[in-house]
């Protein structure tokens, strides 16, 4: 692939693509222009108050605490998110890692743990939440702050994208599965010595992107840092082999209604990102 449009600084290397394939995640260091990532600080703060954002820390029932808020589908209402999420640079990165000719956006999210937010993100797979099937789907987790294990850097269970198992979605800050959903509960990763050994996390900063396959089990610790926020944007992209597959118990968005299992993604629901226009 030649130089890509948008705000990436470099291509994905062969080594990075091989690591993603083998481990189900990869950290792409210094791949984006940090100024463009940091320009999303204001839209992220705006999205914290938007109707599509929830106080997911509240599920954990710990009373008044610094918040962990998460939102989804901001690109539909806020042009700043649309420009960012649909940037061809991000589509090109996903296409390369997924081995796909084309890439469509499934959704964007914000995930903000305020300083001192005492909430883990419980281990889960994205596949459990998305109404899709196929192998070519991934999430780009893009931090706006310096982040490490003490402030909630993402952690992955290496190789879990290759397990032939379907997990239930959970309530994000508690391990309980969402009622009415199907599959097996996510195992207690930290309570199982064998699984715990497979957990990998790394410190990241603005300009870095951590990418995981949508079947990779992942989660993150609390933000124990006294002053540092942990702001991230997650972008979910799908490749050529992805089709709709509706999952019991999960909300269906308006733009997905009318579709059935096996249908190709509707560009009004999941716009094309790569190749760009």
Chain residues in the site for ligand AKG (CB under 6 A): 109, 111, 121, 126, 139, 141, 152, 154, 218, 220, 232, 234
Residue with tokens 């009318």: 258
Q: Report, in Å, the least distance between residue 211 CB and ligand AKG.
A: 10
Which 3 state secondary structure label does DSSP give 96?
helix
Return the number of the residue (5 or 41) whose C-beta is nearest ligand AKG.
41
Q: Report, in Å, the least distance between residue 133 CB and ligand AKG.
A: 18
Q: Report, in Å, the least distance between residue 277 CB and ligand AKG.
A: 27
Q: How far is CA 57 from CA 66, 107, 152, 169, 174, in A?
A: 9, 21, 14, 16, 9
Return the number of the residue (47 or 111) whose C-beta is nearest ligand AKG.
111
Return the number of the residue (25 or 261) whose C-beta is nearest ligand AKG.
25
Q: Report, in Å, the least distance between residue 159 CB and ligand AKG.
A: 17
Return the number of the residue (8 or 220) whose C-beta is nearest ligand AKG.
220
Q: How far is CA 38 from CA 46, 140, 195, 206, in A?
A: 14, 16, 35, 7
Return the number of the residue (5 or 178) whose C-beta is nearest ligand AKG.
178
CA distance 174 to 170: 7
Q: Report, in Å, the least distance between residue 191 CB and ligand AKG.
A: 19
Residue 208 forms beta bridges with which residues?
206
Q: What is the DSSP letter of 186?
A: P
Residue with tokens 């099937």: 133
């Amino acid at each position: 692939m030649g130089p890509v449009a948008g705000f990436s600084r470099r291509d994905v290397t062969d080594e990075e693509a091989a690591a993603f394939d083998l481990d189900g995640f990869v950290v792409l260091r210094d791949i984006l222009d940090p100024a463009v990532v940091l320009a999303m600080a204001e839209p992220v703060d705006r999205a914290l108050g938007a109707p599509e954002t929830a106080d997911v820390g509240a599920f954990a029932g710990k009373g008044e605490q610094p918040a962990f808020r998460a939102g989804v589908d901001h690109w539909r209402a806020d042009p700043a998110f649309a420009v960012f999420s649909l940037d061809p640079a991000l589509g090109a990165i996903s296409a390369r890692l997924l081995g796909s000719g084309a890439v469509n956006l499934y959704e964007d999210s914000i995930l903000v743990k305020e300083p001192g937010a005492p909430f883990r993100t419980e281990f889960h797979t994205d596949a459990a939440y998305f109404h899709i099937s196929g192998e070519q789907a991934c999430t780009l987790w893009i931090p706006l702050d310096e982040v490490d294990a003490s402030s909630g850097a993402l952690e992955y269970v290496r190789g879990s994208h290759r397990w032939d198992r379907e997990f239930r979605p959970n309530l994000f800050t508690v391990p309980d599965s969402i009622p009415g959903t199907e599959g097996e509960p996510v195992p207690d990763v930290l309570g199982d010595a064998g699984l715990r050994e497979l957990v990998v996390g790394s410190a990241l900063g603005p300009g870095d992107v951590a990418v995981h396959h949508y079947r990779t089990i992942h989660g993150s610790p609390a933000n124990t840092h006294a002053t540092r926020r942990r702001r991230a944007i997650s972008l979910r992209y799908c490749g050529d082999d992805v089709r709709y597959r509706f999952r019991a118990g999960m909300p269906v968005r308006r733009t997905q209604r009318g579709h059935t299992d096996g249908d190709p993604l509707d560009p009004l629901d999941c716009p094309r990102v790569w190749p760009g226009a």
